[in-house]
Amino acid sequence: MTIKQQAVAFLGFGEAAMAFIKGWETNRPATLKAFDIKTNDPDVAIRDGKNADYQKLNVLGAVSDAVAMADTDAVFSLVTADQAALVAKNAAGSFPKGAFFFDCNSCAPGTKRRNAEIIEAVGGRYVDVAVMAPVYPKLHKTPLLLSGPHAEAGLAYLAALDMAPAIVEGDIGAGSSIKMIRSIMMKGMEALFAECVLAGRKAGVEEAVLASLDKTYPGFDFPAKAGYMLERAMTHGIRRAAEMEEVALTVHELGLANEMAKATVQWQRRIGNMKLNAGDLEYQDRADMILKALDG
């Protein structure tokens, strides 16, 4: 199947979906449709904003998931982790038989396996997809790990879209295990930086602390990393908190204590809920914004 024969639907039309489409540019599937719950939001500005996203990328915005999925051969699920199970359940009601269901959400392996049972029961081909890096700057070339019984067929489909998939040996959940366990470190570092920098800033010693850390780990550039880590939590904290809930579930399902993952949830959610604009600022300014919001 060539790109010009492919018909693709997106369930969830946020940063990742838009990045993939931007990467495809003119070399894109013949049919591109999407459904995002924001188009049903009571807030007119939110509805109009999402419809504008569709128009900007020349994507047909559907009024429901059923309309989006009709006559497609692949569905990408790209929502927040806390909505992934609901999206799979709703999609099953009208899922096109034989179509791929690329579950690209940051979920625990157990969640992915339950989603797979739902999609497979109605004749869909479920593929566990782990998105292994931020979608910018690589767009559709962002590394993807695929697992499950349809991984090889899914890889061929995604390769035809000039994407960057690779197969992880194992059943559904193998790819997501790598993603989830990696997030203990990656999202946990953001939480550690937040607690360290905010405490240091409040005590008036954060420059000395970061300089000391740079001596211990030469080349890491702790001040620059501090700015980046704070920006990630400020911009994506709500979404990251949902993902870390799934990480905590992953650790729990492995029979281990998950206090670190749970603590990361709290810091990500706390900062994300502030809805601050990180802007093009140094870490000191970002830290002061967060501290002001905490004091408020």
Residues of the chain with pLDDT under 70: 1-4
Given this model, what pLDDT does residue 26 score? 81
Alpha-helical regions (H) of 204-282:
206-216, 222-253, 259-272
Q: Which value, to the nearest 10 degrees, does the dihedral of the CA atoms of residues 28, 29, 33, 35 take?
A: -70
Full-model pTM = 0.89
Length of the chain: 296
pLDDT at 140: 97
What was the pLDDT predicted at 1?
63
Tokens of 2: 């060539």
* Structural domains in the chain plus CATH codes: 7-172 (3.40.50.720), 179-295 (1.10.1040.10)
Name the E strands within 83-215.
Answer: 100-103, 125-131, 143-147, 164-167
Distance CA 11, CA 75 (A): 7
Question: How many Å apart are CA 3 and CA 68, to the nearest integer?
Answer: 18
Return the biggest CA–CA distance within the chain: 61
Separation CA 246–CA 164 (nearest Å) = 25
Give the Å distances, CA to CA, from 90 to 157, 236, 249, 276: 24, 26, 23, 33
Contact call for residues 253 and 262 (beta carbons, < 8 A): no
Beta bridge partner(s), residue 60: 33
User: Could you say which DSSP state residue 188 is in?
Assistant: H
Q: For 220-249, how does the pLDDT look when each residue is reduced to its tens digit (9 = 90+)? A: 999 999 999 999 999 999 999 999 999 999
